[in-house]
């Protein structure tokens, strides 16, 4: 939240549509990938020891919470934080970051769950 509230003069300004992939969007992507990854990381034991429907629900809940946080930060930037503006492109980078964080978690724990199931047999 602190990074999202810093004045806009601290970050480069996006001028055209094609520049939306610039450093500002990369920061959003990385922040929200980290947020979703570490949010679901807190449930790693339950994730590994429960069925597929539980894992899907957990991923959905983490996704919804983290994109809601992204939406809130954009609204706060638009109406509350001095020197900041809300951007749909920032929000899209947040959403992509949330998805990326969950996918990275799934990749890491898929390998762990396969390894654990082969050790049990």
Residue 97 lies in a domain: yes
pLDDT at 47: 86
How many domains are contained in the chain? 1
Q: For the chain, what is the mean pLDDT?
A: 83
10 Å Cβ neighbour count for 33? 23
Residue 57 lies in a domain: yes
pLDDT at 12: 56
pLDDT, tens only, 93-103 = 999 999 999 99
pLDDT, tens only, 12-56 = 555 555 555 677 888 899 999 999 999 999 998 888 888 889 999
Residue 23 lies in a domain: no
DSSP state of 6: S
Enumerate residues 6+ apart whose C-beta is below 8 A from 8. 83, 84, 85
* 107 has pLDDT over 80: yes
| Assigned token pair, 24 | 């500002």
Structural domain range at position 98? 29-120
């Amino acid at each position: 939240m602190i990074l999202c509230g810093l004045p806009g003069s601290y970050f480069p300004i996006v001028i055209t549509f094609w520049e939306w992939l610039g450093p500002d969007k990369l920061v959003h992507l990385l922040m929200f990938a980290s947020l979703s990854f570490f949010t679901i990381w807190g449930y790693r034991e339950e994730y590994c020891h429960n069925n597929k429907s539980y894992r899907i629900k957990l991923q959905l809940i983490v996704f919804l919470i983290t994109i809601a946080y992204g939406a809130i930060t954009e609204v706060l930037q638009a109406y509350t934080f001095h020197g900041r503006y809300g951007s749909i492109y920032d929000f899209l980078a947040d959403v992509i970051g949330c998805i990326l964080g969950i996918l990275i978690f799934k990749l890491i724990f898929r390998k762990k769950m396969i390894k654990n199931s082969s050790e049990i047999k």
